[in-house]
Amino acid sequence: MAAYAAQAEMEAFCFCPDDTPEINLSEIALQGAVVWRVNGLINDCARLVEAGKAQFNWFDLSTLKEPYRIEGKKTMGLELAVQFGWRLPQVVFYPTGGGTGLIGMWKAWQELLELGWIAPPLPRLVAVQSSGCAPIVRAFDLGAQSATPWKDAHTVAAGIRVPAALGDFLILRALRESGGFALAVTDERILAARAHVGAADGLLLSPEGAATYAAYLSAAAAGLITSTDQVVLFNCATGLKYPMPSVTDHMDLNRPFEGGIARGAAPPP
């Protein structure tokens, strides 16, 4: 948003939770936007923007408040179809906060199906959340059509720390229509998954992306997916944007990490 506003010579204002990683705040400010740290969560930021719309004539670009967000997120589903030769995988795990990515992919596949470019069945969608903020998982398990706000939301995966998603009913509908499900994983397992994938595969995942790997292991252990399923895990950011353990914590990669995770050994299911 800041980059596009700079190109258009427009003012931009960004409200972020006060524990947002410093590199994200710096990037926004460097591209010309005015940044405020908010003593609260993403929904508190949204309330401030809503309050300022009438007074300052702001246009709200937050999740599902502008017209093209879902259309842009559809590109993930379109690219997946192209890269898989128009035969989609059986299961897709997606880190879910506001849920626009999950909603957008489901919309893209529905449209491709209507055009006749792909054939059923469509992938089963899996919404992945942290156990410290899992309103979609709770609503799915209860059979609800919408989610109630999550109190005292906390998780190291800031991108999925969304106590109340505006499009909760669309997320839940996509999960059920696809035959998918929702899973929550602990922060401990998210960090263990990030360490394992980094050491074993050389991929620096964001905590949100690592959550999908932790959830994948849980789903496999519970029999929710099979060994013959082709599964895609989405990682939504580089791990370089998030705080990482100091190098002294990983001096000897042949010894178990704290929590019992060793190089080459998968985190416990």
For the segment 213-234, the average pLDDT, to the nearest whole number, is 96
pLDDT band at 269 (very low <50, low <70, confident <90, very high): low
pLDDT value of residue 244: 75
pLDDT at 231 over 90: yes
pTM of the model: 0.86
Q: What percent of the chain stands above pLDDT 70? A: 91
Lowest mean pLDDT among 71-85, 177-191, 244-258: 244-258
Q: What is the mean pLDDT of residues 210-225?
A: 97
Packing angle, helices 187-201 and 207-221, rounded to 10 = 100
Same-domain check for residues 209 and 146: yes
- Is the predicted pLDDT of residue 112 greater than 80, yes or no? yes
Residue pair 158/17 in contact (Cβ under 8 Å)? The answer is: yes
Within a domain: residue 136? yes
Domain ranges, residue 229: 69-250
Cis amide prior to 121 (ω within 30 degrees): yes
CA distances to 38, 40, 62, 173 from 59, rounded to whole Å, are 19, 22, 9, 28
What per-residue confidence (pLDDT) applies to 257?
42
Same domain? 33 vs 121: no
pLDDT at 21: 83
| Span of 44-48, 85-89, 194-198, 263-267 with lowest mean pLDDT | 263-267
**152-171: per-residue pLDDT in tens?**
999 999 889 999 998 999 99
Residue 266 lies in a domain: no
DSSP state of 81: H
- Read off the tokens for 150: 């999550």
- pLDDT top residue among 249 and 173: 173
Is the per-residue pLDDT at 183 higher than 80?
yes
**CATH code assigned at 17:** 3.40.50.1100
In a domain, 261, yes or no: no
Contact 133, 161 (CB under 8 A): yes
Question: What does pLDDT average to over the chain?
Answer: 90
Domain identity same for 105 and 232 = yes
Does the residue 257 lie in any domain?
Answer: no
How many residues comprise the chain? 269
